[in-house]
């Protein structure tokens, strides 16, 4: 189990309506974090016993800082409380948690980084690590799906590869889904890493199976403990889990990243 660490808020701002960019001084977590992992943030409100799991958008070991981009899920929620915290405020965190993306599986092949909605932030760190690992960006396509033209973080991906955008309302890029953008631009890949809402991940998993492309997906489930003890965040899988002896896996402990062909949607 990871130990708790006291972090200090360095900055926080709303980058598009309802989406906040939080930077937190947390040297221990920043030194260990890898793309696809998350942290549990503990708020001071005694009425909120459970932590808020937030994906890591970036980690800077030199500065000892984490970056998290998150969506406020509604008024009166823990994320709403978090969004009101100002620089200098301290809060407890545990992490990094989870397994992260196996970026080494990309080899020298063409890579799709596919993100939808609030599943986009963890792919930014993945894009940076992939560039560091391979030393080239010309074999990476970043396909991002948004509801509308509030394309948060999109421009930050540009140094790491070709960026294709899909929007539900057609206000930016291709009208439709991330798969519509892939087809519209005639893109092809040898491996896929994806994070986003479950309907998107299910569609990406089907596409990967049809095209025989190895694919890893980061699952989004409601978490409670974040360390695999409570079994609140299980997802259905094809294989029997050795911990629970059923065809489930714990997203927080066994994931959140899985081979797409392991998951039953």
Give 94-105 pLDDT, tens digit per residue: 999 989 999 999
Q: Model confidence at 168, in pLDDT bands (50, 70, 90)? A: very high
Helix segments in 9-138, DSSP class H: 27-32, 78-83, 121-134
Q: Rounded CA gap, 27 and 32, in Å?
A: 9
What's the pLDDT at 184? 97
Residue spans per domain, the chain? 4-97, 103-218, 220-265
Residue 187 has φ and ψ, to the nearest 5°, of -90, 150
Q: Which is more confidently placed, 119 or 221?
A: 119
Residue 163's contacts (CB-CB under 8 Å, 6 or more residues apart) are 141, 142, 143, 144, 154, 157
What's the pLDDT at 222? 60
Within a 13 Å sphere around the CA of 184, how many CA atoms are in the beta-carbon half?
A: 15
Q: Which of 120-134, 176-190, 249-263 has the lowest mean pLDDT?
A: 249-263
Q: Which is more confidently placed, 228 or 160?
A: 160
* Architecture of the CATH domain 4-97: Beta Barrel (2.40)
Q: Which is more confidently placed, 30 or 43?
A: 30
* Fold adopted by 220-265: Dihydroorotate dehydrogenase B (pyrk subunit); domain 3 (2.10.240)
Q: What's the mean pLDDT when you consider all of the chain?
A: 89
Give 197-208 pLDDT, tens digit per residue: 999 999 999 999
Q: Model confidence at 250, in pLDDT bands (50, 70, 90)? A: low
What's the pLDDT at 3? 74
Q: Model confidence at 43, in pLDDT bands (50, 70, 90)? A: confident
Q: Model confidence at 76, in pLDDT bands (50, 70, 90)? A: confident
Looking only at the bridges linking them, the beta strands covering 19-25 and 4-16 are: antiparallel
**Mean pLDDT, range 222-235, rounded to an integer:** 56
Q: Model confidence at 124, in pLDDT bands (50, 70, 90)? A: very high
Going by CATH, does the domain composed of 103-218 fall within 3.40.50.80? yes
Percent of the chain with pLDDT over 90: 75
What's the pLDDT at 167? 97
CA 168 to chain centre: 20
Q: Rounded CA gap, 98 and 102, in Å?
A: 12
What's the pLDDT at 1? 47
Residue 186's contacts (CB-CB under 8 Å, 6 or more residues apart) are none
Residue 88's contacts (CB-CB under 8 Å, 6 or more residues apart) are 8, 9
């Amino acid at each position: 189990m990871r130990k708790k660490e006291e972090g200090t808020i360095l900055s926080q701002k709303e980058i598009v309506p309802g989406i906040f960019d939080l930077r937190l001084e947390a040297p221990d977590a920043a030194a260990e974090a890898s793309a696809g992992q998350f942290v549990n943030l503990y708020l001071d409100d005694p009425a909120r016993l459970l932590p808020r799991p937030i994906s890591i958008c970036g980690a800077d070991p030199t500065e000892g800082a984490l970056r998290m981009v998150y969506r406020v899920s509604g008024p009166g929620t823990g994320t709403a409380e978090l969004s009101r915290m100002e620089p200098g405020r301290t809060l407890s965190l545990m992490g990094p948690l989870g397994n992260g993306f196996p970026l080494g599986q990309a080899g020298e092949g063409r890579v799709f980084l596919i993100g939808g909605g609030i599943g986009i932030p963890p792919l930014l760190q993945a894009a940076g690590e992939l560039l560091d690992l391979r030393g080239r960006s010309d074999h990476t396509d970043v396909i991002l799906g948004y509801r509308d033209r509030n394309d948060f973080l999109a421009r930050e991906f540009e140094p790491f590869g070709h960026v294709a955008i899909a929007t539900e309302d057609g206000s930016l890029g291709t009208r439709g889904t991330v798969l519509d953008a892939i087809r519209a631009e005639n893109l092809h890949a040898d491996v896929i890493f994806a994070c986003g809402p479950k309907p998107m991940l299910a569609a990406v998993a089907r596409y990967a199976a049809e095209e025989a492309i190895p694919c890893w997906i980061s699952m989004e489930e409601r978490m409670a403990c974040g360390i695999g003890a409570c079994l609140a965040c299980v997802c259905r899988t094809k294989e029997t889990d050795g911990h629970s002896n059923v065809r489930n896996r714990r997203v927080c402990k066994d994931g959140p990243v899985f081979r797409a062909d392991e998951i039953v949607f």
